[in-house]
Amino acid sequence: MAKRGVAGAAAAGEPIPLSRFGALVAQLESVVASARQKPPDALLCFDLLSELSSALDEAPKETIQLWQRKCEDALQSLLVFGACRPVRRLASSAMGRIIQKGDAISVYARASTLQGWLVDGKRADPMACAGAAQCLGEIYRLFGRKITAGLIETSNIVAKLMKYHEDFVRQDALLLLENALEGSGGGGSGAAYLEAFRIIMRGGISDKAYIVRVAAARCLKAFANIGGPGLGMAELDTSMSCCVKGLEDNVSAVRDSFAEALGAILALAVNPDAQVTKGGKKQNVSAKKFDDGLQKHLILPFLKANGANAKKLRIGLSLSWVFFLQMIHMKYGTLDSELQNYAVQVMDILQGNGSPDPHALACVLYILRVGFADQMTEPTQREFLVFLGRKLESSNYTAPTRVATLRILSYLLRSLGQVPSEFKDVLDNTVVAALSHSSANVRVEAALTLRALAEVDPTCVGGLVSYGITTLHALRETLSFDKGKNLNHELDSLHGQATVLASLVAISPKLLLGYPARLPKSVLELSKKMLNGFSRNPVAATAEREAGWLLLASLLASMPKEELEDQVFDVLLLWASPFTGNPESYLSQIQDWTSELRVLSVAIEALTAFIRSFVSPIITTANGGILLNPVLAYLGGALSLISSLSTKQLPHLKSALNLFTTRTLMAYQSLSNPMVYKSEHEQLLQLCSSPFSDPSGSEESSCLKFVLDKRDASLGPWIPGRDSFEDELRAFDGGVDGFLPCVWDDEISNFPQPESVSKMLVNQMLLCYGSIFACQDNTVKIRLLNNLDQCLKAGRKYSWYMLLVSNACVALLSGLKELLTLRGAQSLPTDIFSMVQSIFKGILLLSEISVAQRRAACEGLGLLARTGNDIFTARMARSLLGELITPVDLSYTASVALSLGCIHRTAGGMALSTLVTPTVSSLSHLSKSSNCNLQLWSLHALLLTIEAAGLSYVSQVQGTLFLAMEILLLEENGYVDFRQEIGHLINAVVAVLGPELAPGSIFFSRCKSVIAEISSSNETATLLESVRFAQQLVLFAPQAVPVHSHVQSLVPTLYSRQPSHRYLAVSTLRHLIDRDPAAMINENIEENLFSMLDGETDSEIATLVRATIIRLLYTSCPLHPSRWLAILRNMVLAASVTRNTSEGLSSSGHDSVYSTDENDAHYGADEDNMISGPKQEQAHSSAPIVSQFSRRNKHLRYRTRVFAAECVSHVPIAVGTEPAHFDLLLARSAIAKGTYFSNDWLVLKLQDLVSLSYQISTGQFEGMQPIGVQLLCLIMDKFGMAVDPEFPGHILLEQFQAQFVSAIKMAISTASGPLLLEAGLELATKVMTSSVIGGDRVALNRLFLLISRPLSDIEDLFYPSFADWVVCKIKVRLLTAHAAVKCYTYQFLRAKENVPDEHQQLAPLLQNSSSLLGKYWVGALKDYMSISFGLHSKINHKPFLDGIESLLVSSKVHKYLDEVWALILQATAVDAAPLEFDANDSEDVHEHTFIAGRSMVKLETSDFQFLWGLSVLVLFHARQSTVNTSVKMKLDCSKEKKFGDIVFHGLDNPRPCDKVLPVLLSLTTEVFFSKDFLSVDTCQELLQALTYADCSGASIVSLFLQVM
């Protein structure tokens, strides 16, 4: 109809109505019409097509149909005239979208027209051919299934285009083929597919241009994706063999593309049901399965890999494994539980490897983690954990296979956050047994696995530690006599047990509930015995000493300093024997020098730990000198040993000596100031100069990997890829004799043994050389520089010269950085600067140096500029600028350009402000060079200059944007590194312009278009710049794009497979929440964030996501608490968070958090769920964004549920302080008045909140139960006083009494863990001292019996795996509960009238437990006073609170007692009586004497005197003038620590002296006079104290009268 309308209008001579879209089409027609005389301007076309693309999004279908034919013709004409790459892409994309949004019938004519032009045209303009091919490819991508008939012709066109000399034409030809294959979906003729396959195999995969090889590999992947139509097993096999060959390509992008293709084809091969026959139909199930494909194409090439390309091939095969596993799981539906069948084949790679190979091991670890563990749901991970554990029981497992298995077990344990009971069953026979394995690698990995187990399940620490210590003692006894065949096994066991003990020592201080006080002491004693004991067997003695040093090192590195401070000098003496005295006489006593050096290496490692803990923090203080001198003496002794052994030149000692030397140099480096060991500088310089004095015998340093600035990583050679884990694999070299993982390090490297000892030695030598160089006087510096310069000049003709250049770069960079740290560089003479500059420039002049060496020299010149003064910096920058004017060698020119950028980055500012313009001018000119390398490095240098110049760069911004556009439009091959660098530039421009970037400006439009263009290739690096562009806009130009648009683009990125993208997306959302919280509240991204968190495997990103969720919670919860409760309820109760299934979606197309069908299942008739679910509500908030990311249909992981439970506990605080959230009357009033923007009040959802808290506290997961009980405590604090308007005189929480009592009953149990027990006691205290009981005698009696039950066992309470303060805290919490209940009850008893029945009945119960309680209360108060006076470490009696002699325990306990000591004091004193008081007196005497009509605590004379003294002390202490800072007592009463409605008797806001007045009232009753506890003198002292304390009020008058 629309077309007839257009025809009618044209026939009638009526003009077509002009819309924005129509106007742009008319402009396009005008451009095309003038193109016949003059080629159109590329920038004009780019702007016009970018705007046309934007207009297409907004134009209605009718408008598009009106202009469709004209627009299509204009776009095709533009393409066949020949256009640049970005214009070709925009035109092709517009063509496809117009047909898609307009009248789709034109697709046939347009495809036919383009095919006809490509077939008929003779050797046309390459750009025109590329444009037509790209446009045809876009049409195939969108409508391929409609035009499959043209596939054979398209294949012929591709064959024709492959003959062009231009790389980009051949690339676009294969891109056309890829789109045709993907678009057709396997529905074309078999002949067409066979022809396409021949084209790829004949020319594509072996093309000279790497971009064409990449395109060919993607075509093979496309073949696999559509089922391999027309291809038989022979063709598939051939293609896989070619892919394996492609994994050895020199270009990383090619290798990665072939790895993906190999994985995809293999996945198809093992799924014959998915293969398409030549007739276009699916093969039947009986088709031959490609069983040997994995063996032939993944396993055998891996095992046979050798030579220069072995590392590349292995990494490529590892990536293929991962893609294969991802494809069969995500595309072909293999269950994740079936993946573990392939795990055996992956492990067999290590079985077939006879000798240990760290690189092979690293590859297998990568596959197991990314291909298996990260793809599995939580239940499958549990099965996989047990499956791998049982595999360890096999006796024929090789050591590398065991190492891989144990490492993945550690990863799975941390990922799960729990230890499955089935895994505990196989633990002893597998992991614990591995501690005795003959391979040290296996023993260390077993120890790390047990460390992971302890992190996840801290209750096992005590048992493992006790077992370890006992076993070590037993092994020492056995080894002192044993010389038989079991000796080696027992020596291995000794090392294994010491290693696991060291790992447990390391992890203990980081555990939530700490470590037992006996742990450091017992381990230190054991370590001393091993170091000082003398075994009859010399082999055993060596092993013992090594184990002893290992334990000591872990203790020193991990334990708080306070634990070992009293023994620091005893510990220092342990190094005296090996490292003092004459080294020759020491060595003469040693029989096995290799073993001895291994022991000494561990000793030096322990000394390094000592330095970091005790010496470095106080190196400038006087005490630092006391500890420093012996340390320096020991290090000097180690140097003497090295020197003595080096002169002997024994070949068999080399490896052991290298290890010892490396450790010694690391110890020196751990001393923060190199000047403290100045006397050893000469000796160290001699040792560390060996890479220069004997370069042929040295390795090449690997330090450049870490020393170079990460911001220049895009220049190579270590270019960041998909994620840091994969990057680490790519950069991994491995060394068979490399360091084993250090069991006490916080961060364990992902792959064991990353470098050989010889390489690490060179690294340490060069770093040490640099730091010592920086400390020398100028004469020595000049001598060292001369030596280095001469060495570089003399070595040029040798094969090891490049190795020497790397080492020189590391040494100089290290020295310059140390100079900057010491801040002594300003006084250096210019000849030193000139010498360093000359060395670096000499390196840059070499044409054969690597990218890393070139970057190092450029960065060195930048640091040199920072080191010198402003005059030197400016002179050097001008000199380099001069060299850019007359370039000689292009590589050198690129280096000079980057050097200028580095100078601006490190020394930019006022000194170089005048040079910004000429620098930009020169770099911009070089950026247009035809040499790719020069262009890339100049662009990067320009970026560094922009970032350094900041706002002073504003005048240059327009020119830079035009430069970026010009380069983008001229670059035909679509190189990723160029596009990434252009993205960098645009983002830097956004940062400079900031608020001036107006939304509708041409400037902003162009920036946006450039970013869209560079990210169109969907490469990791360019997509990253696209996400960073959004972040830059949020940070610097928030006005440019509305929040909603940002969120729409960022949320899909949350599910990206690239961790770098996810990290940027989350951090940008976090910035948005901070910048515009009001707008973000309505975006409803909470579920997206939880969904992302649940699948996140990167710990750093997971931490950021959690922080973002909490930030969003505190931002939006005051307005929408009900929404948060609904979301968190779904999360905690493990409702599915699948975002892509069509099932269960509401009419708006998203999971409704208010939908009750699934939720009510959790609130059903189960007797434990005492509150019904919330009624269905109408949601008023906007729909959350639906992710298109393919997610597994699964339940939340345990760790996500725990976090969701923690979020629930934030809700009562996050809603803020608005009273209406906590008062039902106020909330109803606010709703009636309508004065608030949101009428969503938390008190209206109190039922849901209590219900959820109760379900958490009584749920199946022990780790979540304490969170639930603590949340109930918080609810008591927030809503404890909220009245119920329906029932005057009652509070809201009374209706939930059953839930509170049930939760307390569950928590206060002998089976409860310490966290749950403590939370239960706190909740019981709050409930019993509030109105929640509501007159229920039975409930109150039940609760009192619950808190009384643990009293009899309180002295025997012991947790072997946790810190002593854990028991102390529970004891204090229990005593506080009883004290609070007693004081609360006495509030009613004092009133005498209207005492509630439930509290009246408590009096006899209180009396029954008072004798025991009195003893404990007094004991706790005595301990508090000991701590307050600082006497806890000198207690000569057994304290009630065990372990307070330790400073760590006492500091924790002090904090708890500060809050409750006064309450306990009052509870002890009220109705107390002398021990000799006759309880058989008449009832009248009791009624007259005691408030409750009966005596409570019976006091001995000493206890009475203590309470009396404490009370008088508080009176004196209350006067500000007499406050003694050494007596640390807390006298103010914080309202937050109230227990129910009570703080102290009769006082709403007690002063410090008022705290003890009720106590003194109780202690001055007649019974204490009658038993001679009080005398007239004592009373006079009291009256004087009261007068001095200046107390006033009713209580003081009462007390005066009583005493009188």
Q: Is 528 left (phi over 0), alpha (psi -120 to 50) or beta?
A: alpha
Longest dimension (CA), the chain: 126
Helix axes 1059-1075, 1086-1095, angle to 10 degrees: 150
Q: Is 909 left (phi over 0), alpha (psi -120 to 50) or beta?
A: left
DSSP class per residue in 874-887: HHHHHHHHHHHHS-
Residue in 1073, 977, 1088, 963 with CA at minimum distance from that of residue 1024: 977
φ, ψ of residue 329 in degrees (nearest 5): -80, -50
Alpha-carbon distance of 772 to 678, in angstroms, equals 9
The answer, yes or no, to whether the previous bond of 717 is cis (omega within 30 of 0) is yes
φ, ψ of residue 276 in degrees (nearest 5): -105, 130
Residue in 755, 762, 756 with CA at minimum distance from that of residue 699: 762
DSSP assignment, residue 615?
A: I
Token pair, residue 212, equals 């064409």
**Amino acid in the structure at residue 861:** L
pTM of the model: 0.89
DSSP class per residue in 325-356: HHHHHHTS---GGGTHHHHHHHHHHHHT--S-
- Residues with Cβ within 8 Å of residue 354, at least 6 apart in sequence: none
Token pair, residue 1489, equals 């004497």
Residues constituting the chain: 1604
Percent helix, strand, coil in the chain, to 5, is 70, 0, 25
DSSP class per residue in 1163-1221: TSS-TT--SPPPPP----SPPPPPP-S-----PPPHHHHHHHHHHHHHHHHHT-S-GGG
- Provide the pLDDT for residue 1564: 84
- Provide the pLDDT for residue 1138: 36
- Provide the pLDDT for residue 354: 61
Q: For the chain, give me the number of helices (H) and strands (E)? A: 74, 2
- Residues with Cβ within 8 Å of residue 1040, at least 6 apart in sequence: 997, 998, 999, 1004, 1033
Q: What is the mean pLDDT of the chain?
A: 85
Q: 149, 107 in Cβ contact below 8 A?
A: no
Token pair, residue 808, equals 């020189």
- Residues with Cβ within 8 Å of residue 988, at least 6 apart in sequence: 943, 946, 947
Token pair, residue 817, equals 């950085």
Alpha-carbon distance of 656 to 1260, in angstroms, equals 53
Q: Which residues of the chain have pLDDT under 50?
A: 1-13, 279-288, 1135-1194, 1521-1523, 1533-1549
DSSP β-ladder status, 1473-1474 and 1498-1499: parallel
- Judged by DSSP in three states, 439 sits in coil
Q: 472, 528 in Cβ contact below 8 A?
A: no
- Provide the pLDDT for residue 517: 81
Q: 1068, 1103 in Cβ contact below 8 A?
A: no
Token pair, residue 1384, equals 């609360």
